[in-house]
Amino acid sequence: MQEFEPKIVAFVCNWCTYAGADLTGTSRIKYSANVKIIRFPCTGRIDFMILMKAFENGADGIIVSGCHPNDCHYSTGNFHARRRWIVFRNLLNFTGIDTERIQFSWVSAAEGFKWADVVNNTVKKIKEIGPYENYNKIAVSTLFNEEGATNE
């Protein structure tokens, strides 16, 4: 049987983590190819609905990453994001959504190594947990695929 390759979506901020990921590349550090990076202007812009959309479209894991506290390009974006995540994680946990599948991190533009670690560790963790079957059952592809349609 083929090894399970998780789909990981990374939502990163333009100013720190995206530049950090760039550094990972220019430093020729090899890291897992399971991750699809989506660039945002700021972690403050990463609405919780966007994370849900990732799961709905078949993601097995999510990485959310931005500037370290006090380093935000817009001064306060990551502070607001942090509060939102604290609350959102509580809600996800209460509704039975696996918060282990969402990795939050701060990665600065100088932390190319850290970015590779974050991605590799997340991929390793999700490989251990396995595909997100609970959410996949109600994912867009299942619900709107004629063969897999759940409606009688």
Partner 1 sequence: MSDLIKKVTALLNDKTINAFIGYEKGSANRIRAIFVRTEDQVQKLILNASCTQNLTGYLMKHEVKKLGKLGILANVAALRSIMQLASEFQIKDGEVYVLFANADGSLTEFTDFKSIETFLQTTDTGIKSEEQEMIAKLEAMTVNERWLFWNKEFEKCIKCYACRAACPMCYCHRCTTDVNQPQWIPVASHELGNLDYHLMRAMHLAGRCVNCGECATACPMDIPLNLLTYQLISPIKATFDATAGMKADAMYALSTYKPDDKENFII
Nearer to partner 1, 33 or 87 (CB): 87
Distance from C-alpha of 148 to C-alpha of 144, rounded to nearest angstrom? 8
Q: Is 146 in the site for partner 1 (CB under 8 A)?
A: no
Q: Which stretch, 4-12, 16-24, 33-41, 139-147, contacts partner 1 (CB under 8 A)?
A: 139-147
Instruction: Please pick, from the candidates 15, 31, 40, 106, the single residue that binds partner 1 as defined by CB under 8 A.
Output: 106
Instruction: Please pick, from the candidates 87, 128, 130, 145, the single residue that binds partner 1 as defined by CB under 8 A.
Output: 87
Closest by CA position to 121, among listed 96, 104, 98: 104
Q: Which stretch, 2-10, 17-25, 26-34, 133-141, contacts partner 1 (CB under 8 A)?
A: 133-141
Q: Which two tokens stand for residue 111?
A: 């932390």
Instruction: Please pick, from the candidates 38, 71, 74, 79, the single residue that binds partner 1 as defined by CB under 8 A.
Output: 79
**Residue for token pair 């809600």:** 91
φ, ψ (nearest 5 deg) of residue 40: -120, 155
What 3-state class would DSSP assign to 5?
A: coil
